[in-house]
């Protein structure tokens, strides 16, 4: 087995290892959910969200099966992202709602997106007439 010098390790691997050190819980346990991909190059992309059970996804992993075969169709290929803002750990680009294949794979064949900021707070129940102390009358 040959061991690589630290300078030979691709930047993408260094970024993933740094993320693993910063957010170890994302890499232990959890569930995978495929991302919805549409467009002419959809068959060349694999993508999934990773989350702990009953929680919002924290990391999205995307990769290209064949960079050269899909390069002409990136512009019309889109990946639907889960709710929130997503940060590409290699390029520092931010995405919401969706991302185009061009934006994700123009300079790289894999990308890791992590949730940026905090997950949204759960919705609060609306006050009822009983809890607000006001009476409502039924329509006649």
pLDDT value at residue 22: 83
pLDDT value at residue 2: 60
pLDDT value at residue 36: 95
Nearest to 13 by CA among 90, 103, 87: 90
Cβ atoms of 63 and 46 closer than 8 Å: yes
pLDDT value at residue 35: 93
Check the CA dihedral 96-49-101-90 and report its sign.
positive
Nearest to 111 by CA among 67, 55, 51, 73: 67
Can you list the residues of the chain whose pLDDT is less than 70? 1-7, 54, 66-73, 118-126, 129-140
């Amino acid at each position: 087995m040959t061991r690589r010098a630290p300078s030979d390790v691709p930047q993408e691997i260094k970024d993933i290892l740094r993320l693993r050190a910063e957010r170890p819980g994302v890499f232990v346990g959890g569930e995978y959910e495929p991302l919805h991909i549409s467009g002419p190059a959809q068959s060349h992309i694999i993508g999934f969200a990773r989350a702990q059970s009953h929680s919002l996804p924290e990391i999205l992993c995307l990769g290209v099966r064949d960079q050269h075969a899909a390069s002409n169709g990136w512009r019309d290929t889109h990946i639907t992202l889960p709710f929130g803002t997503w940060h590409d750990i290699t390029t520092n680009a931010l995405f919401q709602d969706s991302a185009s294949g061009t934006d994700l794979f123009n300079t790289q064949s894999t990308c890791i997106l992590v949730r940026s900021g905090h997950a949204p707070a759960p919705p609060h129940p609306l006050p009822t007439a009983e809890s607000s102390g006001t009476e409502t009358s039924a329509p006649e």
